[in-house]
């Protein structure tokens, strides 16, 4: 018996549910698949999952009243597949929930869209030589001249604020402030790249039809995508937890808007990992120019004014 | 998961739950759906708040000499989705029979 198998079997034996003897032919497949499938489930749900499946397999042995369950190998294989599908779904869903809203997920999605748009452009261009040559020409002779003022305009109308958390906090090998900056610049770079590739892919059919006249469509499109993209990137940065960079959730309205001049009212967003809360005022005034980030660290709260 | 997007399989599972079938094997039996469809669908429905689950009391299971089961039931949202699904798939009522007795 291999050590892996004994570990898997002991996992089941740890359960307080008594071990149920399955029919021989079904046990051959399901019994072997159960511990293996259990490894696909998230650790915190594994025991519960095993317990549920053991109860289900008990029914298989004792049968139902309405439909006779054929205790043949095909039925057992179908059930084993169901077991694997169930475990895999739980594992996949848990992994997805863990990644959802994280900074890395955001960058991966942007990078994937860049690849999709570049792939479309490459398909329409027909060859790598034409593809690179067109990209180079349009980037150096058009995009750079449009993007530079658009970046300036976006930054001027929506100034980049420094991170609202202590720069000395360390997560991994980088401080929170360094991670905040790194993520912002990576996101801005990918957003600009996506804007470029998306515009190129969108105007490619027109370029093939009317040649350089398509620049009259391409240039305004560059300006719109760069401005909108950068505004999104900056706004997105504001809506993230300042410690772990995950998107803030659970938007909750606080305070009656009719008491705006007497009492604070607005929206409150929280980090799902409990790092802090963001208070977004309904009305900005001299008493509250910016959003307030309330950081929760080791049970104590520190309120920092963003400036 | 909005009721408009419910597949026929999910509609059958909701119908079975509305008729009192409570756990995976029972639903598989009555709908004829494979386990690879029923169990992941139950998880998804639970995640989306259409279905809730709870463990059977140990004493009850012990009395019947079997392991305790995890029972599923429709939530308020789930009941609304089931009614919408029944309207969308009128044959559901014929495909899933009423529950007559207790499953072993
Ligand atoms: Zn956080």
Q: Which domains does chain B have, with CATH numbers?
A: 3-103 (1.10.10.10)
The ipTM, to two decimals, is 0.87
Q: Which residues of B touch A75 (CB under 8 A)?
A: none
| Span A39-80, pLDDT tens digits | 999 999 999 999 999 888 887 766 554 444 555 667 777 888
pLDDT at A98: 87
Contacts of B27 in chain A (CB under 8 A): none
Which of A50, A55, A97 to probe the B interface (max B CBs under 10 A)? A55
Contact A91, A36 (CB under 8 A): no
The CA–CA distances, whole Å, from B75 to A22, A154, B15, B71, B72 equal 33, 47, 13, 13, 10
Are A58 and B66 inside 8 Å of each other by CB?
yes
Tell me which chain A residue has its CA closest to the CA of residue B98.
Answer: A66
Please list the ranges in chain A whose pLDDT falls under 70.
1-28, 61-73, 158-172, 257-264, 284-290, 297-307
pLDDT number for residue A197: 93
In this prediction, residue B16 has a pLDDT band, given cuts at 50, 70 and 90, of very high
Confidence (pLDDT) at A47: 92
Whether B89 shows a pLDDT value over 50: the answer reads yes
Q: Which pLDDT score, from 0 to 100, does residue A298 have?
A: 54
Quote the pLDDT of residue A73: 65
Taking a 5 Å cut-off on Cβ, the residues next to ion ligand 1 are: A 241, 243-244, 271, 273, 275
| Residue in B closest to A81 by C-alpha | B36
When comparing pLDDT for B38 and A29, which is higher?
Answer: B38
- CB-closest option in A17, A64, A85 to B25: A64
Q: Helix/strand/coil (H, E, C) string of chain A? A: CCHHHHHHHHHHHCCCCCCCCCCHHHHHHHHHHHHHHHCCCCHHHHHHHHHHHHHHHHHHHHCCCCCCCCCCHHHHHHHHHHHHHHHHHHHHHHHHHHHCCCHHHHHHHHHHHHHHHHHHHHHHHCCHHHHHHHHHHHHHHHHHHHHHHHHHHHHHHCCCCCCCCCCCCEECCEEHHHHHHHHHHHHHHHHHHHHHHHHHHHHHHHHHHHHHHHHHHHHHHHHHHHHHHHHHHHHHHHCECCCCCCECEEEEEECCHHHCCCCCCEEEEECCCCCEEEEEECCCECCECCCEEEEEECCEEEEEECC
Residue-level pLDDT at A262: 67
């Amino acid at each position: 018996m291999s050590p892996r198998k004994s570990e898997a079997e002991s996992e089941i034996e740890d359960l307080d549910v008594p071990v149920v003897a399955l029919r021989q032919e079904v046990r051959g497949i399901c019994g072997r698949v159960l511990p293996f499938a259990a490894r696909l489930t998230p650790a915190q749900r594994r025991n519960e999952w095993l317990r549920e499946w053991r109860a289900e397999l008990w029914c298989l042995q004792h049968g139902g009243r309405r439909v006779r369950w054929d205790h043949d190998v095909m039925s057992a294989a179908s059930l084993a597949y169901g077991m694997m599908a169930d475990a895999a779904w739980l594992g996949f869903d848990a992994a997805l929930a863990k990644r959802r809203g994280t900074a890395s997920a955001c960058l991966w999605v942007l990078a994937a869209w860049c690849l999709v748009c570049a792939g479309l452009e490459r398909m329409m261009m027909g060859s790598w030589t034409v593809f690179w040559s067109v990209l180079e020409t349009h980037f150096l002779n058009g995009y750079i001249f449009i993007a530079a003022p658009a970046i300036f305009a976006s930054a001027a109308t929506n100034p980049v604020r420094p991170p609202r958390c202590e720069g000395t906090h360390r997560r991994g090998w980088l401080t929170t402030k360094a991670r905040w900056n790194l993520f912002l610049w990576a996101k801005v770079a990918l957003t600009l790249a996506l804007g470029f590739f998306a515009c190129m892919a969108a105007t490619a059919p027109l370029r093939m039809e009317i040649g350089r006249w398509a620049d009259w469509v391409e240039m305004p499109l560059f300006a719109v995508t760069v401005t909108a993209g950068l505004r999104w990137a900056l706004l997105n940065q504001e809506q993230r937890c300042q410690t772990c960079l995950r998107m803030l959730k659970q938007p909750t309205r606080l305070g009656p808007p009719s008491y705006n001049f007497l009492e604070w009212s607005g929206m409150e967003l929280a980090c799902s990992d409990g790092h802090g809360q963001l208070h977004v005022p309904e009305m900005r005034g001299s008493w509250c120019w910016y959003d307030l980030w309330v950081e929760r660290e080791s049970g104590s709260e520190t309120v920092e004014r963003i400036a | 998961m909005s009721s408009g997007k419910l597949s026929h399989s999910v509609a059958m599972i909701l119908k079975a739950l509305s008729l009192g079938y409570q756990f995976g094997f029972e639903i598989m039996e009555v709908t004829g759906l494979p386990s690879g469809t029923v169990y992941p669908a139950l998880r998804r429905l639970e995640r989306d708040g259409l279905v809730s689950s709870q463990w059977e009391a140990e004493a009850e299971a012990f009395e019947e000499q079997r392991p305790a089961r995890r029972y599923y039931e429709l939530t308020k949202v789930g009941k609304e989705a089931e009614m919408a699904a029944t309207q969308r798939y009128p044959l559901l009522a014929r495909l899933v029979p009423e529950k007559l007795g207790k499953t072993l």
